[in-house]
Structure formats: structure tokens, C-alpha cells
Amino acid sequence: MTQPIFREYDKHALDAEYNNRAKVKDAMTWIARYGAESARARAELPMRFDVPYGPHHAERLDVFTPPAAHGRAPIHVFIHGGYWHRLDKADFSFVARALPDAVTVVIDYALVPTVDLDELVRQVRASIVWVHANAASLGGDPARLTVSGHSAGGHLVAMLVATDWRALGAPTDVVKAGCAISGLYDLEPIRLCYLNDVLALSSDAARRNSPVQLTPSGRAPLVLALGADEGPEYHRQSNDLAAAWRRHGVPIELMDMARHDHFSIVAELERPDSALARAIRKQMGLA
């Protein structure tokens, strides 16, 4: 082992720890499944496709609306992952199946390196402001808005919980609860590993986009879910955020999900009766 660059990890070990596609042998099978199940969901469920929420061509969202919404249904926003530089909302339409009695919004955002991480975070925050302002036209209740996201999307969920919404013209408590799935909350090891070849994070950018370094803006409950089979850094990331934000009074539930890895865990949202779907539905007052 050469000189450590982060905790006990040298560069090779840190790269390996965060390379989920290399660690999980059937990663590409899972990703193909996401796409196939999402195409089937779009074909079968009532939806609005590619609704713009901002001026950038990537600022688009898909809306899945239950037939009897009529402005009273809770709204759930899902944020896809892909280490901020891969994948698309179209890969995750299937999550609408977990919430058949909610308005489910699956958002897109511009990927790094076409924008930097600061702009990507700005876009995701803008999507929440837009969804809240347009809730009635979507068939949902703006006072019942929750969020979830996977991997980089889990990071973005935490960034939303740390947002000063008043500065963006939205209510302080616009996000009522969040569920971050296999998320990343400390970007310093990301800056130091192979991912920074694409992300190009400076130390300052990593710090201001690390939820563990930020103060949550309110007391919105947060579920931190991850697979038991994920690597030690992913477990450290969730544990560190839980410890930091509990000191600020945020109610946090850690869900360590047996028999799941980084890619299998999000497939829990293919159905409403899974443990992860039930946790989200409980946050929405549906369970």
C-alpha cells in the first residue's frame, strides 16, 4: 500500500471503494433492468413527459399522476443518481409504481461536465420550487411534498434538506421529508478519487456541496437507506451525516437493508409493498 490520501485509503483503494460498477458484478444488468422497467411504466401509467421547469434543455421532469388526484394527492419528487455525470430520469420512471396514490415527479438535471456541481445543485433546487408553485396543475398538494433519490440523487436529497428555501421564494418547510438511498454526503473522498477526472471539484466546491459540512435548514425527517452489502465508505458516509445532523435536531432513521448492494436497493421502488417504499409512504402519511 502506498501513502494514504484519505483516511486509511491510498489512491488505488479509494478508487476501488467508490467504483460501484466494478464492485457489483451484475451492475450493468441492474441498470438495464431500470431502463426496461421504466419504459414499461411509461407505457402503462398516466403521465406527462418532459415538462420544463427551467430554461436549460436538461431542466425537465416527468409527472405520474394517480387518476383521482384532484389537487389533494401528496407529491413525491425522485432524483436519479449516476455520480452526477451519468443516467437520466428516463431510467427511473419505474419508481412511480411504488407510489400509486401520489403524484410522482422524476426530475432531470444537466450532467457534469456540461455544467459544474454548483449549477447542477441549483437546478435540482429550482425543480422543487417549480413543483411547489405548480402543484395544483400537477394534481397534487403543495403542502405534502417529499423527496427521495439514489446515489448522487441521495446527495441531492440531503442538499435540498440543507437549502435556505426563503432565499428562493419558497416556504422554509417546502420539503416535508426526505429519503436518501445509498447517498454521498462527504465529497472530499470523491474529490480525491478517480471520479474527479470528470467532476473537477476543487476543495472549496467539495466542501460547500458536502451535506455533512452543512447545517440543515429545518427539521424535516430524513431516512438514510443503504444496502448492507455496500462498501465501508458508503456506511461511513451515512453514519457521519446521521451523527452530524442529529446534533441539529433532525429526526434521522438509518435503514441498513440486508441482501442489497448499491444497485439492487433502488429496485425496491418497483413495488409499493417493499420495505423502502413503505418507509417513503410512511413519510407521506400513506402507510
CATH for 147: 3.40.50.1820
Tell which residue, 215, 249, 231, has the closest CA to residue 182. Answer: 231
Residue 134 to residue 122: CA distance in whole angstroms:
18
Burial profile 119-148: b = 16 or more Cβ within 10 angstroms, e = fewer: ebbbbbbbbbbbbbeebeebbbbbebbbbb
Quick one: pLDDT at residue 72? 85
- The number of domains in the chain is 1
225 pLDDT higher than 80: yes
pLDDT of residue 69: 63
Residues 40-79 pLDDT 10s:
999 999 999 999 999 999 999 999 998 876 678 999 999 9
What grid cell was written down for 15?
478508487
Residue 4 counted as domain residue: no
Confidence of residue 138 (pLDDT cuts 50, 70, 90): very high
Query: How does residue 2 score in pLDDT terms, banded at 50, 70 and 90?
Result: confident
pLDDT at 235 over 80: yes
Is there a domain that residue 2 lies in?
A: no
Angle of the 117-133 helix axis to the 152-161 helix axis, nearest 10 = 60
Whether residue 98 has pLDDT greater than 90? yes
Q: Is residue 217 a part of any domain in this protein? A: yes
Euclidean distance between CA atoms 45 and 146, whole angstroms: 21
Q: Is residue 48 domain-resident?
A: yes
Spatial neighbors of 163 by CB under 8 A, at least 6 apart, are 125, 128, 175, 217
- Residue-wise pLDDT tens digits, 153-185: 999 999 999 999 999 999 999 999 999 999 999
Edge-first strand order for the sheet with 222-227 is 47-52, 60-64, 103-107, 73-79, 140-150, 177-181, 222-227, 252-257
Q: Looking at residue 1, what is its pLDDT?
A: 57
pLDDT tens-digit series, residues 102-129? 999 999 999 999 999 999 999 999 999 9
pLDDT tens, position by position, 200-222? 999 999 999 999 999 999 999 99
Whole-angstrom distance, CA of residue 164 vs CA of residue 214: 11
Asked whether 222 and 177 are in contact (CB, 8 A), the reply is yes
Average pLDDT over residues 240-266: 98
pLDDT at residue 90 greater than cutoff 70 = yes
- Residue found under cell 405520474: 64
User: How far apart (Å, rounded) are the C-alpha atoms in residues 76 and 73?
Assistant: 10
Q: Which domain holds residue 243?
A: 11-283
The SS3 call for residue 119 is: helix
In whole angstroms, what is the distance from residue 138 CA to residue 37 CA? 23
